[in-house]
Amino acid sequence: MIKEKIEKVYKSDSLAGFLKYSLKYKKWLTITVLLSIVSSALGTAPAWLSKYLIDDVLISKNGKMMLIVGVAIFVTTIFKLISAYYAEITSTYLTEKIRRDIKIDIFQYLEHLPISYFNKNKLGDIMARLSGDSSSLGRIGFLMFDMLREGITVLAFLVRMFQVDFWLATISITIVPAMISVIKKYTKKLRKSGRRRQDTIGDATAFMQESLAGIQVIKGFNKIEEIVDKYKDVTQGEMDRIYRAKKIKAKISPLNELLATIMILIVAAYGGYSIVYTKSFTPGELVSFITAIGLMQQPLKRLVKRNSELYEILPSGDRVMEIFNESTEVDSYSKNPKTFTGDVDKIAFENVNFTYPGNEIRVLKDISFDVEKGQVVAFVGSSGSGKTTLVNMIPRFYDIDSGSIKINGVDVKDYSLKQYRSHIGMVPQDTFLFSGTIGENIAFGKEDIGQDKIEEAAKMANAYEFICDLEKGFETEVGERGVLLSGGQKQRIAIARALIQNPSIMILDEATSALDTESEKLVQEALDKLMIGRTTFVIAHRLSTIISSDKIIVMNKGKIVEIGKHEELLSKNGAYTKLYNIQFKGRKTNEKNS
């Protein structure tokens, strides 16, 4: 019930998420709440004891009572400090535990999102959500527990005030609705401002990440000043948003302090009148009442401040939790997923159609062809013809709109995705290596494999010789994204990484297009070894690399225009012949000129 009421007030995905996660740790949550209650209750002791200090000690001049009050103040202070300390560390532990759980779950969830999510969202913004915005989740926990302690403290002081004088307490708290009205007015503005601010910060982070990743291009085109100017504009927007939020926050505290001062003046006037004229108050009771109000001011101010801060950071936390609203990859479209053993008898593409999410243009149109076990199928065509999109359908990086892709008569959508992908190897055009050693990159996905298998894969990939020439051999660090290695070296490590998986289906996406002649020869030799005994799909940039393919598929504007072997296609004098003549005539001309 409390959880639902809090969610109704704040209407926040991040707060709802934090509360849900906190219920996983009921023991720690209970301990934290109990310690907060004890700490807050003991913090109100001066308001209770001040009556006896005035009436029974100072006015009655009772020495024994002075000793009792002094001991009581000392003991309650000690226990308050102890309980406050443990309330702080338990709430901090619980908050950090929950924040870590949420971060892990979000990271895991991101890993299961489809490729389309990463295509439509900037990497910098995703990083800002996962790192910067996720820290707000921990802040939410801190604020919630702090508000709990301050709220209990305020409640305890209110109890004392009502105990002293019901009507005076009632008059005193009439100012509270005005405080709430001020808070409500400005916290709405804070939340809107906070969301815009976090989006602006995400844009700034994305721009910075993209600019640093493209630093070579920026320098090459001499655009440093222009990029810096753009970054100034982006960060100016970020600064403006933060400044507006601070201005809104700055108005809340003075207004509430003014209202609190009015409340104290009302109490002092009423109490003084009651002591002097009606004799309905003792000096001790008035001091006790004023002490309660005075001591209540700080926790009340902190409660208001924490509430403002909570409203301000909730949009930041919401940006993180919004990731959970994205749809993850579907493991299998069958209630009883089929097991793919890796044995490929036949792969059939039947009337495959596909349109990228958010795009109206169909990029694959009625694609149909068959592939037999162990065949090498090459895709050729101009840029944008749909070659890469088509091979991305095989490991289900995207799911087709209509038609089917079947392996051994079973739709790939009916296989368990994780188990199915374990039999597919890929060597992309732009090789991605992870920070770490060469050996770790080759063994990626097979971390328990022995050194002998790693070296064997390196030999088959024509990488063993250059690795051994390095000072640290297989322990050589490759750097971020493999920047410490050449393009040919990275490609051969990628081939070794694919070989060690022993996949039954291989996908080679223009794996030699960006290499020099010497590197291309070594990589092509490694690819030839890689394709032996495997059903292979090759996206070809240079037709010379796919002349011996079992099947060449020529594509244009998302359609298959020709299928056949090299000689068959040349004899048709069609689209393939045109591509062949462009490449080989151009090559002969270049050779003559050189």
Three-state SS annotation for 7-62 = HHHHCCHHHHHHHHHHHHHHHHHHHHHHHHHHHHHHHCHHHHHHHHHHHHHHHCCC
Run of H or E including 5: helix 2-10
Both tokens of 30, joined, read 């209970």
Of the candidates 354, 507, 504, the one whose C-alpha atom is nearest the C-alpha of residue 429 is 507
Of the candidates 90, 93, 84, the one whose C-alpha atom is nearest the C-alpha of residue 38 is 84
Write the DSSP assignment of 328-382 as a string of letters. Answer: PPPS-SSSSPBP--S--SEEEEEEEEEE-TT--SEEEEEEEEEEETT-EEEEEES
Asked if residues 234 and 203 have their Cβ atoms less than 8 Å apart, the reply is yes
pLDDT at residue 365, as a whole number? 93
Asked if residue 247 has pLDDT above 70, the reply is no
Asked if residue 563 has pLDDT above 90, the reply is yes
The residue-averaged pLDDT of 429-434 equals 79
Asked if residue 7 has pLDDT above 70, the reply is no
Query: Is 61 exposed, middle or buried, given 0-12, 13-18 or 19+ CB atoms closer than 10 A?
Result: exposed
User: pLDDT tens, 355-365?
Assistant: 988 788 889 99
Least confident of 168-182, 334-348, 483-497: 168-182
pLDDT at residue 561, as a whole number? 93
Angle between helices 517-531 and 451-460 (to 10 degrees): 120
Q: What is the DSSP letter of 327?
A: P
Asked if residue 518 has pLDDT above 70, the reply is no
Give the integer Cα–Cα distance in Å for 258 and 540.
75
Higher-pLDDT residue of 185 and 86 is 86
Nearby residues of 350 by Cβ (< 8 Å), 6 or more positions away? 368, 403, 404, 405, 406
Asked if residue 111 has pLDDT above 70, the reply is yes
Instruction: Provide the pLDDT confidence category of residue 8 given band limits of 50, 70 and 90.
Output: very low
Q: Compute the C-alpha angle 201/203/204, nearest 5°.
A: 65
Which residue intervals of 214-282 are DSSP H helices?
215-220, 224-273
Q: Compute the C-alpha angle 580/584/585, nearest 5°.
A: 110
Which one of 225-234, 255-264, 326-335 scores highest in mean pLDDT? 326-335
Instruction: Provide the pLDDT confidence category of residue 390 given band limits of 50, 70 and 90.
Output: very high
Nearby residues of 571 by Cβ (< 8 Å), 6 or more positions away? none
Classified as helix, coil or strand, 206 is helix
Asked if residue 369 has pLDDT above 60, the reply is yes
> CA quadruple 297, 299, 302, 307: dihedral positive or negative?
negative
User: pLDDT tens, 191-202?
Assistant: 555 556 656 666
Asked if residue 237 has pLDDT above 80, the reply is no
Give the integer Cα–Cα distance in Å for 355 and 590.
40
Which one of 10-19, 92-101, 271-280 scores highest in mean pLDDT? 92-101
> CA quadruple 516, 521, 526, 532: dihedral positive or negative?
positive
pLDDT at residue 593, as a whole number? 43
Tally Cβ neighbours within 10 Å of residue 261. Answer: 12
Which one of 145-159, 178-192, 276-290 scores highest in mean pLDDT? 145-159
Higher-pLDDT residue of 380 and 264 is 380
Q: Compute the C-alpha angle 222/225/231, nearest 5°.
A: 125
Of the candidates 256, 253, 270, 261, the one whose C-alpha atom is nearest the C-alpha of residue 294 is 261
Classified as helix, coil or strand, 553 is strand
pLDDT at residue 153, as a whole number? 84
Write the DSSP assignment of 301-312 as a string of letters. Answer: HHHHHHHHHHHH
Q: Walk me through the domains of the chain, giving residue ranges and CATH numbers.
A: 2-325 (1.20.1560.10), 339-423+507-594 (3.40.50.300), 431-502 (3.40.50.300)
Higher-pLDDT residue of 109 and 297 is 109
Helix, strand, coil content of the chain in percent (nearest 5): 70, 10, 20
Burial 358-378 (b: 16+ CB within 10 A, else e): eeeebbbeebeeebeeebbbb
Instruction: Provide the pLDDT confidence category of residue 4 given band limits of 50, 70 and 90.
Output: low
Instruction: Provide the pLDDT confidence category of residue 377 given band limits of 50, 70 and 90.
Output: very high
Q: What is the 3-state secondary structure (H, E, C) of 157-174?
A: HHHHHHHHCHHHHHHHCC
CA distances from 274 to 54, 277, 279 (A): 17, 6, 6
Give the integer Cα–Cα distance in Å for 7 and 15.
7
pLDDT at residue 134, as a whole number? 63
Higher-pLDDT residue of 526 and 566 is 566
CA distances from 298 to 141, 178, 267, 303 (A): 21, 18, 17, 8
Both tokens of 344, joined, read 């490929």
378 has which bridge partners?
A: 538, 552
Asked if residue 594 has pLDDT above 50, the reply is no
CA distances from 427 to 102, 372, 496, 538 (A): 34, 21, 10, 10
Which one of 98-102, 296-300, 410-414 scores highest in mean pLDDT? 410-414
pLDDT at residue 349, as a whole number? 94
User: pLDDT tens, 58-101?
Assistant: 677 777 777 887 788 888 888 888 988 888 888 888 888 888 88
Asked if residue 234 has pLDDT above 80, the reply is no
pLDDT at residue 221, as a whole number? 60
Asked if residue 347 has pLDDT above 90, the reply is yes
The residue-averaged pLDDT of 172-194 equals 60
The upper half-sphere exposure of residue 476, i.e. CA atoms within 13 Å in the direction of its Cβ, equals 21
Give the integer Cα–Cα distance in Å for 309 and 294.
23
pLDDT at residue 530, as a whole number? 72
Question: For residue 454, how far is the Cα from the chain centroid?
Answer: 33
pLDDT at residue 403, as a whole number? 93
The residue-averaged pLDDT of 12-18 equals 72
Give the integer Cα–Cα distance in Å for 257 and 253.
6
Nearby residues of 17 by Cβ (< 8 Å), 6 or more positions away? 102, 137, 317, 321, 324
The residue-averaged pLDDT of 132-150 equals 74
Mean pLDDT, the chain, rounded, equals 78
Tell me the percentage of the chain whose pLDDT exceeds 90: 10
Of the candidates 429, 384, 386, 426, the one whose C-alpha atom is nearest the C-alpha of residue 542 is 429
pLDDT at residue 414, as a whole number? 92
The residue-averaged pLDDT of 264-289 equals 69
Listed as own residue / partner, the contacts of 244-252 with beta carbons closer than 8 Å and 24 or more positions apart are 244/193, 245/190, 245/193, 245/194, 245/197, 245/312, 248/186, 248/189, 248/190, 248/193, 249/186, 249/190, 249/308, 249/309, 249/312, 251/186, 252/182, 252/183, 252/186, 252/304, 252/305, 252/308
Asked if residue 208 has pLDDT above 90, the reply is no
The residue-averaged pLDDT of 554-566 equals 91
Higher-pLDDT residue of 478 and 351 is 351
pLDDT at residue 592, as a whole number? 42
